């Protein structure tokens, strides 16, 4: 029994659960909407607070789903090298902005 040594495209652990994350996101949005409407109709501060809590949970699930979708994208093609350029060894592909100092 091997440990998954194959040459097929790799799927991340989160990528395997994207459909479940999408389902959880859908259910969370529905719960948020129902609690928000119920809080407005009844004037219940408890329902409003719980709707806010569900909203933060929904944001976390949406962030996880977005990260899983980004992780599933194929890697970007490296830029073409000109003759005589030294290998970058990973340096200089993207430059980070310098820190802002006052």
Q: How many domains does the structure of the chain reveal? A: 1
**Which pTM does this prediction carry?**
0.63
Residue 52 lies in a domain: yes
Residue 48 lies in a domain: yes
pLDDT at 95: 54
Residue 51: give the domain boundaries.
32-72
* Strand ranges, E, within 12-93: none
pLDDT of 10 > 70? The answer is no
Residue 45 lies in a domain: yes
Residue 79 lies in a domain: no
CB atoms near residue 35 (< 10 Å): 21
What is the tens place of the pLDDT at every residue in 18-69? Answer: 889 999 999 999 999 999 999 999 999 999 999 999 999 999 999 999 988 8
């Amino acid at each position: 029994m091997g440990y998954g040594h194959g040459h097929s495209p790799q799927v991340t652990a989160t990528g395997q659960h994207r459909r479940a994350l999408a389902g959880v996101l859908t259910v969370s949005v529905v719960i948020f909407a129902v609690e928000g409407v119920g809080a407005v109709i009844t004037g219940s501060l408890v329902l409003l607070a719980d709707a806010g809590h569900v909203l933060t949970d929904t944001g976390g699930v949406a962030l996880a789903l977005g990260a899983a979708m980004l992780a599933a994208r194929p890697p970007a093609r490296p830029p073409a090298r000109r003759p005589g350029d030294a290998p970058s060894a990973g340096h200089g592909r993207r430059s980070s902005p310098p820190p802002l100092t006052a």
